[in-house]
Each structure stands twice: as structure tokens, then as C-alpha cells.
Structure 1
């Protein structure tokens, strides 16, 4: 077999490899993998990049179905993943990263050069077809590096789904809790208004001192301001949910929220259950490990490609003499780059720095993961215990006191002001229970995000830092 035939075969193989790698990355398969990784937080909801009109129509249909009834927490997650333009933009960015990773694993192109030289009546045509020899030799290794980078993109895609799902769930919790608190704040204000009006009338007939009436009016003024704040919080949290879900103005008018938050679970998650989930799910560990693997695989390859370059080409020259004679010259060329002035010291330092940074980031994630999980689980248990204490102990006790005070009022042992003050206390206790329930669901979302390796997606303030309508000073009679 001649050298020219060997060259043609090699070039044909290179061309076939290049054509075989021209297919675009399978974004749908990547999205399925990412959704499976994010399932512990996103649940049954799946994410999809809407690239075609049929996909956008399906998303609009899903939004209509979810908005036709009161929106649940899981429904909010599904709606945010399907309807939010900001989330679609994030997925499009990940698609670009996936395509770039795949591109880095493909063989380089084939170069073709053409020459036309004339000397007097003589004409010479030169043709050169060349391919990067080092590029072909390193193709399997570059393909493995590209696969690791593509895996990184899939995990980051899952992290984007987790962050979107967590943000939607927290926005839903805030909106529902704020609406529920507004309802009870209205009842507090109504009770305070009735008490203030009764005090004003009793003062007019001389049965109430000016100080006693002023105290009742002060509580009414305070309850009115707290109701205004509760209404503003309800509007703000609802609009925050609208933005998180990516709703249009028409869709936002269709949004209906349930009257109350989801009930607490019968029992909290056990440490063993959390430990198993923690060991299996952490996305940040996967990202750090893949980054370290990619840095290790690419280190020698990047340094060698910077220092060495070689091109192998097949050449064919045709000479046309002025007399009409024609001759053809065939052969091959090998071009080598010699690093006479740059032996890669700076490049090696940069690659060493990248590898060292990947090692330290991986170690930092490993060390911080356990602490984050313990902190979030402690906050989760504290929030659960507080919420349960409010629901099972404080609220029933306040109701018992209210029932007893009603009996004492019917027996003319206490007056109407004591009865109204007790009603306000009971309503304020219910508001505190709603806030503790809201804090628990925040802590639950934060724990789920932390277990899957996105702690910043679920970080919330401590359950003890709650603000709610106070009962105010009372003048007992």
C-alpha cells in the first residue's frame, strides 16, 4: 500500500469522525437526568427547556390547569419550572454550556489550502489537505474530559432546578401565611374597634375614665396599623410569588391561594432518615468531585497542546508548461511547532493553580457539608417542636381560657372588656401559631435544599426571629 493511499485513508477517517460528532447535544436527555437528580426537592415536577412551540403550548396548558384551582406548594413548584422565563433563560445558558463541553471533545477540522503560481507562460496549481496530527492522537482523552465537563453541566442544571423549586416553595409559604395572618389581623382590629367604641360611649356617660378610654383607643390604633402592615405583607408576598412563578398580568389575576398552610406532618424526619438522604444526594459534592476530575484529566493535555502542535497533510501540485506539457507532483507534509521561546512555565503554573483550587474546593465542600446538615436539621427540629407546641398546647389552652371567660361573662363575673380582651389574645395566639407553622415549612425547605447540596437556596432566618401582632396593653376591669 502506497504512502499516498495511507494518507487518504487517514484523512477519510478524520472526516468521518468530524461528521459523526456534528450532532447537537441531547438536551432532553440531559434535562431528564437533571430532573431525576433534583427530585428530592422538586418532587414529581420536571423541568423542560421550551425550544419549540408545542413545548411552549404544553407549558401554557399546564399553567392554566394549575391556576384553575387553589395553588398548592407542589403546584407552585411545577408552575415555576414550566412557566418562568427567568428559569428558561437559566436552562438555555446550561444548554449552551453543554454544547460547549461537547464541542471540546470533537476532532478539529480539516484544513485545505490552494496556491496558484504563474511564471511567464508556466502555471502551477498547489493543493494541500491537512489535519492536526496531535488533535487526532489526543481525541480519546479530550473526549473523556468533555464527558466529565458535560456531567458537570448536568449537575449544575439539577442545581438550577433545585434553586428554582426551593424559591417557588418558599414564596408560596410566605404568600399563604401572610394571607392567613391578614385574616386574623382583621379580626383583632375588629375586636379592638368594638372595644374602643364601647369605651368611648361609656366615657360619655361617665362610666369610664379618660385614661381607661385612651388605653382602649391606643390598642385600636395599634391594631389598625398592624392590620395595614399585614395587608401590605400579603400583597408583597403574593407579588413575590407571581414573579417567582413568571406569571403574566392575566395569569396573576387567576392566581388563587389556599386559605391556610399545609398541616404539620405527624412526626418529624428522623436523624437516620436525614443521614441517608444526606449521603446520597449532595449536588455540591458531585460538582466539586467532577471539577477535580476534569482538572486532573485536562492538566497534561492542556500543557501538551500548548507546547506541541503537529499537522500532517497530503499535497498535490500540478504544473502546466507553456508548451502544453502537464506534470503532477504528489507528497506529504509534516509541520511541527518548536517551543523555543516558551517552554510552558507560566501555563504550567496556571494549570497547577487550577488543580490546587479544585482540590481545596472539594475539601471545603466535604468539611462544610456535615456542619450545614447538622445546623439545618437542628433548626428543622426546633421549628417542628415550636409549631407543635403552639398547635397542641398554647392554642388549646387559649381556647379553654376563652370558653371559661365566656361562662364567667354569662354569669356576670367579668365585664365585656375582659371578654373582648380575651378574644384578642386568642386571635393573637392563633397568629403566633400560623407564624410558627410558616417557620417550620421554611425550615423543612431549607433542610431539603441543604441535604441536596444547595444550602444557600433554603437559608432562612431563625424561627425565633418572628414578628407578629402583639396583644397590646390592656386595662382589666
Structure 2
């Protein structure tokens, strides 16, 4: 069932519209009563004379004089009132149609949100089950396990509330449509229309509303009727209850008297001041209602147009910025999780945030169409831009089950060689957080073996060690090959990598003075790096 189909069903089945149609019948009855004059009054009398002298008979026919004088004017006023009633009822029909459309958009949006929340709850349950397995394997703490389980419980609660909201919205729509029982087993589209490309100009909509707003037109019609009624009241205020008629009398002797009659109400005490004051007050109130309606319609149209424009921008921000950004976050998170740079729970959280972005997008589209319904209500007719409605948003099923190309865009694992990885259990590293390690952003090279060269240590964080970031290589004793000592880590040994020359000054005999170095020894000494200072790592021998 589309929004247009829902409106058609409401026009035929809605009890609320049946009430409005009944009001139209009442207005038509008032017109019929107004165009008819009051029934004449027949009077008969018989009066006796002296006993045995006979009796007189009198017959008369009268009718109100004011009804005959104001009949044309009253007919005109009644027809104008009927037109005003039709405008009011047409406005009520438009309000019912707007309420049905708003209820339809609300229900479809609520159903989309419920489906998204159900999917998020399913993902949260899967994350909680995975956390339980990790906890059983000793990979995460009990705190992390309870956090995932609590998040899953909250997701289920939110999903249940979303489904309840969707059910409530459907019942509201059924009430407006006049459907229940088996008639309410209808299905609707799961996709809302996209916002139109070009919105209507607010000034043009305001000008259109001044001539098409049914509420405003009905208020103006009422004011015109009361202006005419005030003029009639001023002219006929002196008539009061005057009557005109015809009388015929027959005496006892057979003579007859006949002729017209006129009964006039003398305006001595009541001169129609109350009727005149009432007519003037009704006209003043009607004019105030016209001014209020004009101001309200103008402000409602401008506010509605502004709301539509702002919500259209919100939809555009979701479509062009937020959703692509969240999709890219999921893509990068998937890549980092593949390289064990983040845990699987961080990836799940990124996916949940992506679903939240989609849900916010669907809610923004729903709010946009609800704002357009209110704008249509203020204008009094369909918006000119309705002709540009075309594309529709993706369904929840399209969001939850993307195509294979869209599932992990940009990921190419054909060049990854996993043969160099150690034969560790598949789930040993799963869920571990390496975000605090200063590893390269793109570790494309395979993992180095234990006996890695010195260059393999480059990029690691040694900020907590009291040694230079890149110490010079220590002098290698002649007895050890250079290849065997290279890359070994002596930071945990109490002995320095290069022995300090022994001081023999305390042994009693001064050491022999060394011979002056030759030229070759000087060059060799210059090329030899200075041994590092390990005094901070322990006592030197």
C-alpha cells in the first residue's frame, strides 16, 4: 500500500470523513430551510349574537411580513453559507488526507527503524557470544565480557521498543483508514521516496496559499456573509414581528366583509439594538479570524518551507558525507583487523556505528516527508514540486545484505602470503588490541624470524629505555664472529656489551706506558665506534 492508495482507502472507509460528509448534509439542509418562507397562519372564529339572532363567522390568513421582505437576501446568505461549509469540509478532508499520509510515512519509517534495530541486536548478540568464547579461552577479561553482554541486552531492549513503536504506528494508520480485523492485513512498501531535487520557492508558496488555503478561504467567506447580514439587520430592525394577511367575515344577516390585514410591531421599547450589536460583533470577530488566518497561513508556509529545506540538507549530509565516511571506517577497520592491528570487537563496533548512520538517514528521510505533509496542509493543496518525486531510498534489506562487490570494497588478498606466519592457533590473536604499538601503518612485509637483523627493530618504541634510540654497534671481540653477535639484545644482562678497561692503579705497580700509536692504528681507532654507556643498566665490573 502506497501513500496515495492509503488516502484513497481513507476517502471511502474513514469514519472521520463520514462525519465531515454529514456536516455537508447539515449545511445543505440549512440552505433548503433558508429559501423557504414560513407557513401562513389560518385563523377561524365564530361569534354568537343575542339568543335567537344568529352568529358571525370570521376567517383570516396571515404570514410574517419580514420573511417575505428578506427572502431574496436570506437565500443569498444561505447559499454563501453553504459554500463556506463546503470550504470547511474540504479543508477537513485535506486534513484527513494529510493525517493519513503522515501516518503512512510514520509507519514505514518506524518499520525501517525496527528492522535496523533488530539487525543491530542480532549483531550485538553475536558479539556477546564471541566474547563468551574469548573469555572461556582466557583472551579477554570478565569486564570486557560483561560490557559486551550488557551492550547486547541494551540492543535487544531498543529493538523491542522499536517494534512496539512500529506496531503502534500501524494501528494509528488503520484507525484513520477505517480498517480492522482481516481488512487490516495489508502490506506496504519498505522504501520511502527520496527528497525532490529542487524545492519550491517560499514566496511562491506563500502567494499560492493566500488563494488556495481552504481555512483562509472559509474565513473570508464567513466575513463576507456577515457583512451582508449586518446590512440587512440595519434595514429591517424596525419590522420586528409584523404580519400581513387577508380576512373574510360573514354576519348573521348574510352580509360579508373581506380585505387585507396588516399587523405592525411598534418599536417603542425594543428597537433592535441587540440584533444590531450582535451582528456588528460577529462581523468584527470574523474579520479578526481572517487576519489571524492570513498571518497563520503565511507564517506556517514560511516555517514549513524552511523546515523542508533544512531537513533536505540533513538528508544530503547523511547521503553524501556521514554514510560514506562510516562505510570507509568499516572498510579500514576490516583491513586493520585482517592484519591483527585491532580486535574483532572494534570491527563490530564500527559496523554498529555504520548501521546507526543508516538508521539516522532513514529517520531523516521520514522527517523530511512529514515536514512536506505539514507544508502541504498549510498551502492547502499539493506542492508543485510533487511532480519531481521519483527515486526511492534503499530498503533495509539492501542495507543489511549488500552485494559481494560492496561488502569489502578495495580489499585484495591475492598478494598476501601467509606461509611465513607461525603455526599459532587461529584464535590466539583474535580480539587482541595492538593499537598502542608503534608499528608501521601498512605492515605489508611478512613477519621477521627471531634472528632478525638490526634493521628489523626499526620503528619500535624504546622511549622507556635509558639508551639512545639507535645505539652504535659495540666493538666485537676478535674471538667471536661478527655475524653471530649481530642483532643480540644485551639490555637485560648485568654486564655491558663491551668490557671497560681494568684500572690497575690500585695493584701497586703502575701499568706500562703504551707505545705511541702508529699511523695505521690511528686510522683504525677513528673508524671504531665509541662503545655505549651501560652505567644505567647495573654495576660495571
Q: Please indicate the TM-score interval, normalised by the length of the shorter structure.
A: 0.7 to 0.9
Partner of 1:293: 224
Structure with the bigger percentage of helix = 1
- In the TM superposition, 1:60-139 aligns within 5 A as 71-119=1-49, 120=51, 122-139=54-71
Q: CA deviation at 1:305?
A: 4.6
CA distance in 2, matches of 1:439, 1:249: 30
Q: Does 1:416 align with 2:344?
A: yes
Question: Bigger relative contact order, structure 1 or 2, given CA contacts below 8 A and separation 6+?
Answer: 1
SS in 2 for 1:333: strand
CA distance in 2, matches of 1:307, 1:239: 59
Partner of 1:155: 87
Distance 1:183 1:397, change over 3 A: same
Partner of 2:170: 238
Q: CA deviation at 1:273?
A: 4.6
Q: Does 1:250 align with 2:178?
A: no
CA contact (8 A) 2:330 2:354 kept: yes
Deviation string 1:27-67 (CA, Å, 9 cap, x unpaired) is xxxxxxxxxxxxxxxxxxxxxxxxxxxxxxxxxxxxxxxxx
CA distance in 1, matches of 2:164, 2:373: 24
CA contact (8 A) 2:31 2:82 kept: yes
Partner of 1:209: 141
CA distance in 2, matches of 1:388, 1:318: 95
SS in 2 for 1:138: helix
RMSD over aligned Cα atoms: 2.3
Deviation string 1:385-413 (CA, Å, 9 cap, x unpaired) is 11122123222332233233334434444
CA distance in 1, matches of 2:202, 2:293: 21
SS in 1 for 2:314: helix
CA contact (8 A) 1:182 1:227 kept: yes
Specify which of 278, 288, 291 is matched with residue 363 of structure 1: 291
Distance 1:356 1:265, change over 3 A: same
CA distance in 2, matches of 1:261, 1:124: 88
- In the TM superposition, 1:316-335 aligns within 5 A as 316-319=248-251, 321=252, 326-335=254-263
Which structure: larger Rg? 2
TM-score, length of structure 1 as denominator length: 0.75
CA distance in 2, matches of 1:90, 1:277: 25
Specify every segment of 5 or more residues in structure 1 that has no aligned partner in the other structure, as ranges.
Answer: 1-70, 455-474
Specify every segment of 5 or more residues in structure 2 that has no aligned partner in the other structure, as ranges.
Answer: 383-430, 434-541
CA distance in 1, matches of 2:154, 2:432: 18
- In the TM superposition, 1:309-388 aligns within 5 A as 309-319=241-251, 321=252, 326-388=254-316
Q: CA deviation at 1:269?
A: 2.4
Q: CA deviation at 1:440?
A: 0.2
